[in-house]
Structure 1
């Protein structure tokens, strides 16, 4: 039996069986029960005074000088490269170097059989001696005829013939000297020498091989590795943006002496800084990029031609700039960069930011923030604009983007406004 029917039965019995009065009493009791249930639901829906506010992590922003750097992809290349090819034809008698070692300019590399070239040299020496021997006789004849012509003992034609013979003898001597020099050069070419200093590659031929003068196949290659070059590419669009920022005063250039750092394939930073050597004066029509070359010292031969690397160029300094952690920034339906802030009243405020470029794990922002603003870096998904929150001060690691408690951060020891090295993507 239900409580309502039991109540109706007891009420009927107490009232002497009057049905109208019993129904009225049942209605009053039901209304009281419903009212009590509504009160309990209302109390459950209304938070009690002093309820816990949502927790968010914030970073306090301050303006500082930001070193603007460009990280560009590139390839390592030798500063000098020389292909070793024979200048004379002959048989290779000996290889005079050890493959893969360092050689100096002028060191012998290959020995070509010099026998035929030595014979040509000796022949040229003999020819020169013969031609030189004819000059004194021709000179004496000319001198004698010059004396006799004054006595009309010889004709002018005889004197002219003597002079012609002397000139021919001297010309023969000059030709013989040139032939001797050619023979000497060819004989010297039989010892193939290193045109530059550097590391020599493997040999493409062995002893006993026949090589030809001017052949297209190099016998080996020498590459100078210290110093060494790194050629990187940059888009013309980024160049235009940078020049516009410089012109507007947002970025101050570092001048012509641009320092360059190098990030290797394994992520480590090369220990020796480099210098910017030149920028191409034309843009590739296919890729829309131009080449920038930097030079690095390479005493340990750590860098080798063909390696992939990323050059970090310090191109300018942005004064009084704000770095906003990337994890704090999102985008609205319009594509605008937005972030949540905790105001002085402890409530959440959403703002639109003007982002210039990425700087490491931060955004370089020039509008939408001011000194002392507290930007939310964690917990923004759990709150809404105008909601009162409990803010905990933290720091964000510029290198990794990870959040660290303020008490555990070394960033507290850094003075406000200190330059922050940065990377521009």
Structure 2
């Protein structure tokens, strides 16, 4: 029994010693990752949406009346300038040409007779064997016959041209579209019937627009447009950049009153015909190089109701709040034009632990720091907490310890 009392007294003494606490030491300053920024030069890029359009587009129409005999080309195939696309029945046109040629032959004969009579009158005029009036009539007949011959020749030429139109050829090189009429249809009757369309798709135009305010802002900026200015990249649906770069070749000077936008256009090579007209594409236009700006990771820029700001480790590692002006997001970073100076240590990681005017412990920040931190702590419980596995082990071990501690007590009781 005395042994049990001594054990209880010893446990009470140890408990009293454990409850006695030392004065609390001040916590160490929180560790934050900082990035020392310097002014740099970056391209001014604008993300826009445009639509592809053919470089040239020509409507192929029936220019003479007749029945469409045959479609020669393969729909959707590439054709060259001058290739035969359609044939129109030439029978009536050939007959018209024959009529014109007959009229021309008659006019030529009349002109020859009139010339002979005029030459005879010219020879007789000096001998006074012909009157002045007869001479004038002979010369007038010669001129009229020549004019009639010229008109007959023009009619023949017109008939030949119309006969040539019976063979419909490609006006430009490009891709021929679907035929708009079928064989056996009557075309060109009263109007030029549309037969098909030929589009030149190498190169292609890209039509897009920009708001007038944004255009004026870019134009007022001091940009170096000699290095890559005017280049346009095409972003494909899978996120990759098209291997051919476009070049800005047109900028409108009239604002659309309905949309308040300005029309622009770029031209892009398309040698493999992978881009098709009519498709909407995402563009990244390079307007020039912008100097004297700072690149800061997006995680470092905070916002409140009034402005954007960053936290900077200033003198004595004290946190300073700096309002900034963000121009745009670019490649996962903010482009900042105002608010920072060279050498500022911007807090990138550990931002929630930093408070203005508080002292922090800055360490260099690396881009992969944010990805490596979760990986390092994967499976580990937060500080001050225990995992569920550890808790269950302690819970299972406690009864064993109690059982072990009760065994001597039971033995002493027996003694």
Question: Where do 1:12-411 residues align within 5 Å?
Answer: 47-48=24-25, 51=27, 53-213=29-189, 215=191, 218-246=194-222, 251-254=223-226, 258-333=230-305, 335-396=306-367, 403=370
Q: Which segments of structure 1 move beyond 6 Å, counting only runs of 4 or more?
A: none
TM-score normalised according to structure 1 size: 0.77
Q: Which residue number corresponds to residue 7 of structure 1? A: none
Q: Which residue number corresponds to residue 25 of structure 1? A: none
Counterparts in 2 of 1:60 and 1:265: CA distance versus 1, 3 Å? same
Residue aligned with 1:267, SS: coil
Q: CA RMSD in A?
A: 2.5
Consecutive unaligned residues of structure 2, counting only runs of 5 or more, are 1-15, 374-415
Distance 1:292 1:108 in 2: 36
Residue aligned with 1:282, SS: strand
Counterparts in 2 of 1:66 and 1:404: CA distance versus 1, 3 Å? farther
Residue aligned with 2:175, SS: strand
1:213-240: CA deviation from partner (whole Å, max 9, x where unpaired): 4636521111100111001111111122
Consecutive unaligned residues of structure 1, counting only runs of 5 or more, are 1-35, 407-425
Distance 1:162 1:257 in 2: 76
Counterparts in 2 of 1:148 and 1:375: CA distance versus 1, 3 Å? same
Residue aligned with 2:221, SS: helix
Counterparts in 2 of 1:256 and 1:138: CA distance versus 1, 3 Å? farther
Residue aligned with 1:171, SS: helix
1:54 Cα shift? 2.9
Residue aligned with 1:345, SS: helix
TM-score normalised according to structure 2 size: 0.79
Contact map agreement 1:356 1:366 (CA 8 A) in 2: yes
Counterparts in 2 of 1:203 and 1:300: CA distance versus 1, 3 Å? same
Most deviating of 318-327 and 281-290: 318-327
1:182 Cα shift? 0.9
Q: Which residue number corresponds to residue 420 of structure 1? A: none
Contact map agreement 2:298 2:334 (CA 8 A) in 1: yes
1:256 Cα shift? 10
Contact map agreement 1:395 1:405 (CA 8 A) in 2: no
Distance 2:315 2:145 in 1: 107
1:56 Cα shift? 2.8
1:344 Cα shift? 4.8
1:387 Cα shift? 2.9
Distance 1:107 1:166 in 2: 45
